[in-house]
Structure 1
Amino acid sequence: MTSIVTGLQGEPPQGHPKGYPFVAGRKNVVACAKHFVGDGGTDKGINEGNTATSYDELERIHMAPYLDCFSQGVCTVMVSYSSWNGRKLHSDYFLLTQVLKEKLGFKGFVISDSEALDRLSHPYGSNYRNCVLSAINAGIDMVMVPFRYKLFLEDLTCLVESGKISISRIDDAVERILRVKFIAGLFEHPLTDRSLLDTVGCKLHRELAREAVRKSLVLLKNGKDPRKPFLPLNRNAEKILVTGTHADNLGYQCGGWTATWMGDSGRITIGTTILDAIREAVGEKTEVVHELRPSADTFASQDFSFAIVAVGEGPYAESIGDNPGLIIPFGGTELISSVADKIPTLVILISGRPLVIEPWLLEKMDALVAAWLPGSEGGGIADVIFGDYEFQGKLPVTWFRRVEQLPVHAGANSSDTLFPLGFGLTSKEEGF
């Protein structure tokens, strides 16, 4: 998290006071550390759920990354929709004011998540004035109100005039917001520098993104025969089958929070799909056959050197992405099985999390790569599967066998899982 902060804001000078915001210049932007705090520890991983834990554990596990961000001058902190031991974070005075601002010494401003105040009452959005009261008094400095901003302003004004929200609380919020704006130079330069537009998505950026793809791929299986690793693939093979819902879908590679909130399918931006990358990587005499779902006639030819099956999840964000079954969607399991029965097969799994891979299905595959959400630069996948670069990625989580095992904690209940935390082969290694 800290490296993202410095990448956006710039490196603060030695001796910069911890907790104070920092922005290096006009080519840098304000960063936001989120979501404070514990939303990664909710029961069953439910979005906007409840993190049931002691304060000591909350501090030790969930607050630790924020300390690094504060030392690097992060300007803003966004509060989580979730709850801590049943208390909504957006109305938790102890965590937002006593801990975040006072104990941890954060001097930037605290911002709400979108429409978070509406979530402080039941039914949703009711008794709005009380929601405003509890959030502002808890320590929220800036409120993200996309729709009911007129009502928000009316209620906030009334609460201040009645004394229910003190002027000192307003002064604290204003001071923090102005501090960040001064640091960012917004009064001297209130508009963006449009001369920088051509820099976004430039060759250097895409090369860096491609490198990130290469380094994040995790090789989970490499060959059925211990003496014969399946990868790297032969780029000069006579004929290759490329198939699957994710083989030629840039939107699926990018996932949610991209062109739209939920993401989308298709050519949502400039980029290279897995299919594009394979076609660029193979030899001039190699025939690449692409079918979304191979027909019986395609299989009947029986002259493919190997198949590359790219399957996975569609784009999603937040609660809409909740999936209690975590199976490979779009008939991915069936497609892998049907192809692997007939052709030696590399499976590339595109997903934001581990999915259920049945043991019988894993046995059928010749190789399996977890590619996560590689984004626009599918060339990073071709770089590694054809052997120009070595696999480096390791699993950041334990890969479960069955959803009933969740949550899985490394070293606790992780003995009967599919792949352990930190697992990842190289192309010189075979098996699984």
Structure 2
Amino acid sequence: MTDIILGLQGEISNGSEKGVPYVAGKNKVAACAKHFVGDGGTTKGIDENNTLIDMQGLLRIHMPAYYDSIDKGVATVMISYSSWNGKKMHANHELITGFLKGKLQFKGFVISDWQGIDRITSPPHSNYTYSVLESVLAGIDMIMIPYNFTEFIHELTCLVKKNFIPMERIDDAVGRILLVKFTLGLFENPLADLSLVNEVGSQAHRNLAREAVRKSLVLLKNGKNANDSVLPLSKKLSKILVAGSHADNLGYQCGGWTIAWQGFSGNNYTSGTTILSAINSTVEKNTEVVYSENPDSEYVKSQNFNHAVVIVGEHPYTETKGDSKTLKMIDPGPDVIRNVCGAVKCVVIIISGRPIVIEPYITEIDALVAAWLPGSEGQRVTDVLFGDYGFTGKLPRTWFKTVDQLPMNIGDSHYDPLFPFGFGLTTKATVSR
């Protein structure tokens, strides 16, 4: 994932000083590594919760991406809302100043999350003077204040005048922020280059998005035995059933942080291609594509389908709205899988931002694809489904059997996944391009 830094900031030059921000020119932007640190290891996966782990585990599981980000010249690091062993990260001097700035020699600036310093106290903002003091002394250089910035300026100024916060700490923060701004060339070119506006959403950008979708699809199962491969599907099938709540819903494909904070449902808020419409445009003109969101088993048995494609998963979410103790797909997804896959050879596509429960249905499924959140590019799912390209994607994280196993990481004594980290079956393209 840290390779995205090179795309945002540019390839770092040989001989660059370790930890110094690197931005290749005015056509590049500053990247941000977040959320420092342990954000993905909170108890029961609850957003903004506490990560209970010793230093050795923190360094082994949660810190490697920051080592790599700093080696690639990342300009900024954002702090997590979460805590480490009960200590709020926004107030953690040991990890921010001692480890990130000290041991790792990060020389860019550290930024808070949205109202992150308010959450140092419980309830949030109940002792704002304390929150300002603790966060700045911890090593945060830039504070994200969405509303009342004058309050922060007043509190910080008073704390400096009364010598609770030394000027050396202010000088360090200002120096780091100026270093990033100079690196970006903001003093020479303070305004956006409007000549680049027309490149946003350009064909080149869409082609890259499509490539990302194709390469990120992970084939988890392909046939009920080694001699019974289902994928790639033929474009010349006579009759295909497409089912499931996610088959014709751009909002579900895109997930959260799309148009609206928590995402949306339906096809009216952005342009793109749903997987259903992509299937329709991919198969031969004589192929009959039948869409039924939630068919019953008798209907499926009676229609003489050659194959079925079931697309199910999660609702869009971000942050706390995504908290789940069960990690189940939304209803009627399980029923659709049972009704369809029990009656006809089926391919199940999971649309989700994370692994979800699929173990109870795995024996009924002929082929299984983790499509994650393909966004607007449903056509690129069918590119691989029907053999224009082969499956090459690998799991970026372990896929559990049951939520009772979580947390579960490679090296754990109880590591017994449904699909291990790095798993992914491959296929070859059947269409020459």
TM range (shorter): over 0.9
Partner residue, 2:85: 85
Aligned-partner Cα distance in 1 for 2:223–2:61: 38
- After superposition, what is the alpha-carbon deviation per residue over 1:328-375, rounded to whole angstroms, capped at 9, x for unaligned? 11310011111223322111011112211243x222222111111112
Partner residue, 2:357: 356
Question: TM-score by structure 2 length?
Answer: 0.93
- After superposition, what is the alpha-carbon deviation per residue over 1:382-413, rounded to whole angstroms, capped at 9, x for unaligned? 11111121111222333222211222233545
Equivalent residue runs for 1:194-205 within 5 Å? 194-205=194-205
Aligned-partner Cα distance in 1 for 2:215–2:15: 33
Q: Does the 8 A contact of 1:398 with 1:414 survive in 2?
A: no
CA shift, 1:298, in A, is: 5.3
Aligned-partner Cα distance in 1 for 2:105–2:297: 66
Aligned-partner Cα distance in 2 for 1:397–1:167: 44
My pick for the range that moved more, 143-152 or 284-293, is 284-293
Partner residue, 1:316: 317
Aligned-partner Cα distance in 2 for 1:410–1:188: 48
Partner residue, 2:164: 164
Q: Does the 8 A contact of 2:301 with 2:343 survive in 1?
A: no
Classify the secondary structure of the residue corresponding to 1:2.
coil
My pick for the range that moved more, 62-71 or 376-385, is 62-71
Runs of 4 or more above 6 Å deviation: none
Partner residue, 1:332: 333
Aligned-partner Cα distance in 2 for 1:25–1:416: 47
Q: Does the 8 A contact of 2:409 with 2:415 survive in 1?
A: no
Aligned-partner Cα distance in 1 for 2:328–2:99: 40
Percent identity between matched residues is 57
Q: Does the 8 A contact of 1:31 with 1:75 survive in 2?
A: yes
1:250 aligns with 2:250: yes
1:67 aligns with 2:67: yes
Q: Does the 8 A contact of 1:53 with 1:85 survive in 2?
A: yes
Q: CA RMSD in A?
A: 1.9
Q: Does the 8 A contact of 1:414 with 1:420 survive in 2?
A: no
Partner residue, 1:345: 346
CA shift, 1:127, in A, is: 0.8
Aligned-partner Cα distance in 1 for 2:355–2:64: 25
Counterpart of 1:276, as a letter, is S
Structure 1 259/100 Cα, relative in aligned 2: closer, same or farther at 3 Å? same
Structure 1 366/54 Cα, relative in aligned 2: closer, same or farther at 3 Å? closer
- After superposition, what is the alpha-carbon deviation per residue over 1:406-428, rounded to whole angstroms, capped at 9, x for unaligned? 22233545565322333222348
- After superposition, what is the alpha-carbon deviation per residue over 1:208-250, rounded to whole angstroms, capped at 9, x for unaligned? 2212211211212222354321111111111211121111111
CA shift, 1:125, in A, is: 1.5
Aligned-partner Cα distance in 1 for 2:366–2:218: 15
Classify the secondary structure of the residue corresponding to 2:63.
helix
Partner residue, 1:371: 371
Unaligned runs of 5+ in 1: none
- After superposition, what is the alpha-carbon deviation per residue over 1:94-122, rounded to whole angstroms, capped at 9, x for unaligned? 21112222222111111000011110111
Aligned-partner Cα distance in 2 for 1:389–1:133: 55
Aligned-partner Cα distance in 2 for 1:89–1:252: 32
Unaligned runs of 5+ in 2: 429-433
Count, aligned residues: 427
CA shift, 1:253, in A, is: 1.0
Counterpart of 2:92, as a letter, is D
Classify the secondary structure of the residue corresponding to 1:74.
coil
Q: Does the 8 A contact of 2:160 with 2:167 survive in 1?
A: yes
Aligned-partner Cα distance in 2 for 1:355–1:40: 16
Question: TM-score by structure 1 length?
Answer: 0.93
Partner residue, 2:58: 58
Counterpart of 1:227, as a letter, is N
Counterpart of 1:316, as a letter, is Y
CA shift, 1:177, in A, is: 0.8
- After superposition, what is the alpha-carbon deviation per residue over 1:242-300, rounded to whole angstroms, capped at 9, x for unaligned? 12111111111111122222111123322221112111211111122223223789547
Classify the secondary structure of the residue corresponding to 2:133.
helix
1:399 aligns with 2:406: no
Counterpart of 2:348, as a letter, is V
Q: Does the 8 A contact of 1:327 with 1:355 survive in 2?
A: yes
Partner residue, 2:303: 302
